[in-house]
Structures are given as structure tokens and as C-alpha cells.
Amino acid sequence: MTTEVLHQRFLEGGQVTTDSRNIPEGSLFFALKGERFNGNEFAEDALEKGASWAVVDQEEFASHPRAILVPDALEALQQLGTYHREYCGTRIVALTGSNGKTTTKELIAAVLGRKYDLINTRGNLNNHIGVPLTLLRLKPETEMAVVEMGANHQGEIDFLCRLALPDFGYITNFGKAHLEGFGGVQGVIKGKSEMYRRLMERDKTLFLNADDPIQVEKLSGYTRKVGFSTSNPAYFTIRDLGANPFVCLELDGERIHTQLMGGYNFTNCAVAALMGKYFGVPIEEIRAALESYVPSNNRSQLVQKGDLQIVLDAYNANPSSMEAALDQFASLQAPKKIAILGDMFELGEDAMAEHRFIGQKAIDLGLDALYLVGAHFSAAGLEATCFPEYKGLADALKANPPKGPATILIKASRGMALERILDIL
């Protein structure tokens, strides 16, 4: 079956699903495979639950009259996503980077959504499956889409750009994330810059933080770029008014007081403001969008529990974001400061050195209390309270709960699930 015919089947129901537990009536079910599951085995169940068609890639599961046999269900999903993207003709803003992708995506969507009929990536569905699923949420009337792209290996951003065919692109930063897959910091820069190369080849517009020397160098000589800077008059001027504790910025004489903690969130807010200016969103709407945005999902989230003020940043971590979080935490005015830090993943051969550096940095801050948890921190030889596993940390906090008033930073990679601590504090 051609992609064009499959697209007609899709338009009849208007939805796709890859989860047989969640079958919207009339949806198109794609039988994807994973390490622990084979979607083909659930195709008939999906049809019984209301799917209009089931796209399978194993002949023994194609006997049902509403089963569509394709060589590869994942490739069929991806091709359908690109076909539908071109069918709708929506303007697409793509973004990637080492840190802050999801927060930046949410901020951009909040600003542009003040003027345009818009969709954006849900959660962190930013990979080879999530991107086509996002594209298939487009409608002919959708004016703009903000599509987040994640990667941990070379070639992934290039592939996702070929799927989404973005009209605009932005890279948040180049940090020490997924070092194992990318092959070091230079590998990260090369991999994330695939977005620049792909959009420049198609003569598309790129946004940049003109205060980031790497971004400036990568876009040197390219004319279709729009940037912001705190000091360079060649770009849109967006002043950083500090973050104590919340980010405040100034655009066109308007002060914008956000609910985002951490100086590192200034650039996230600034690029959202920049895109608002570029796409003609009135300044008062830009301000309203940024000021009303409240972080959630364990990302720079402020949680109050009694007289404990908790900075919950446990969605993800790498050496760059961990260092920035510690610098910001050190600048806060608080009667007592406590940090609970968990392991950072996917660092490969750099893991020990990076954990030792971050651990020592936290020690040198002279905090009132510091807890390090995880195999890497525990093996780093640090003179600090370390726990190889979460249970040890939990037991210690139950036996001696932190006493307030105090401010507590919780940060770790997603796999550590340190948000569990909230049930203990």
C-alpha cells in the first residue's frame, strides 16, 4: 500500500495510535516493535477495540480484513508523518540542544499560541517515534507547530529534520549530555549542529543565542538567522535582569517577571520572546505568556512542604546542567541550604571524572547538608555523605528529616527518580 493511500485511511479517522491499551475510535493502529514487545501481536485486539485499520509488518498477523501489511510498520509511520506534514503545509519550528529543550518548547508554544493556531510536542515525545506522532496531530488549519527533537547519537537530528522538514530551527545549547553516545563534547556539538546544516541546505531561517560563541561560529556567514543578545546591538536586545530567585528580563522597555528559577532559564525565556517578536506577537501578549508559565514535571519546579522550599529539578541531569543548577543554588538567599544530587547517566568513560568534579563543586559550596546518591557518586572518592542506592538515602532522611526553614535542591538524571523524596520530606 502506498503512503498516499495510507494517508487517505488516516484522514478517515484523523488519529493514529501505537498503544493497544489506548484506541481512539476510528484510529489507525501501528504495530511497532520494541525490546520487550511486538505490536503485531496486539493488532487484532486493537481492531476489536475500535481501530479502523491496523498496520502490521508480519504476514502471520495480516489475515484480518482490516489489517494493512507493510514491510516495516515504523518506517510506514514515519513516512506517513512526513507526507501529512507536507499535506498540511504548517510552518514548523524545530528545536534541539543539550539542556532546556522541553522547557524552551513549552515557552515558545505559550508565546506563539497567543496569536496562532498551534500544536507542540507533547511531553518529551521527541524521538524517531514521537516526531512523526506529533506531525500526525497537524490539521490543515494548524498555523504553526513547535517540534522538539532529542538525540544521543550522531545522525539522529539529521534524520528527524528530514522527517519534519522544519521551516525554522533553534539549538538551546551544546552541553555535556549523552557523551557516551556522541563521543565527547565535540561529538555533541557536531550531532546537535546537524539541525543547522539541514536547515541551511534548505535555505531556512535559524534562531540563535548571539551570546553563545559556538552558535555564532556555526552560523558565521549564513544570512538567514535571527538572534538575541544581552549586549550586541546587531541582534535583538533582551536584557537579563537577574534571577533571585525568578528570571526577569526586559524586551522593548517591558519588564517580564517569570516564575522560572535559575539564571540558565534566561536564554529559554529570551528565545521565546525573540520568536514572539519575529512572528508578530504583541509585546503585551509575550509578557503575559511568559509570566503565566508555571514549570512542572520535575523541571525547575518550586515545591513548598511546610517550611521546606524545594527546588525540584529531577527530570534529567548532565554535568552542564548540574553545574548551572549548583551555581544558581549558591546564589540564593536562604537560612539553610541542602542539596540532594543523584547520578548523571550516559557519560561513558567521562562518568567518573564528571561525577568527581560535580561532587567536589557541591562540597566546596559549603552547604548546610549535602547528600549524593548513586553508584557513580559513591565510587568517586568524595568526602561527602554518599549512598550507592536510593534506599540508603530514603532511610537516612526518614531517620533524620531535614528541619526548616530551609531550601533544598533535588537534581539527578531521570533514571534515579529522585522526585520520590517528596514523599519523605
Residue 170: partners with Cβ closer than 8 Å, 6 or more residues away: 93, 94, 95, 97, 104, 206, 207, 208, 271, 275
Task: List per-residue pLDDT tens for the chain, 425 residues long.
Answer: 899 999 999 999 999 999 999 999 999 999 999 888 999 999 999 999 999 999 999 999 999 999 999 999 999 999 999 999 999 999 999 999 988 899 999 999 999 999 999 999 998 899 999 999 999 999 999 999 999 999 878 889 999 999 999 999 999 988 776 767 777 778 888 888 899 999 999 999 999 999 999 999 999 999 999 999 999 999 999 999 988 788 999 999 999 999 998 888 999 999 999 999 999 999 999 999 999 999 877 777 889 999 999 999 888 888 988 998 898 898 888 999 999 999 999 898 899 999 999 999 999 999 999 999 999 999 999 999 999 999 999 999 999 999 989 999 999 998 999 999 999 88
Co-location of 305 and 332 in the same domain: yes
| Residue 215 in domain | yes
28 within 8 A of 9, measured Cβ to Cβ = yes
Closest CA to 291 of 326, 335, 312, 260: 260
State the pairing for strand pair 301-305/246-251. unpaired
Co-location of 265 and 172 in the same domain: yes
User: Residue 313 CA to chain centroid, in angstroms?
Assistant: 13
Co-location of 283 and 305 in the same domain: no
Co-location of 115 and 133 in the same domain: yes
Show the cell assigned to 269: 525565556
Co-location of 45 and 159 in the same domain: no
Co-location of 66 and 129 in the same domain: no
What is residue 153's predicted lDDT score, i.e. its pLDDT?
A: 84
CATH number at residue 39: 3.40.1390.10
Instruction: Give the residue carrying C-alpha cell 544530587.
Output: 341
Partners of 67 in the β-ladder: 54
Q: Residue 152 sits in which domain range?
A: 89-292
Last residue of a domain, one of 292, 310, 334: 292
Co-location of 287 and 313 in the same domain: no
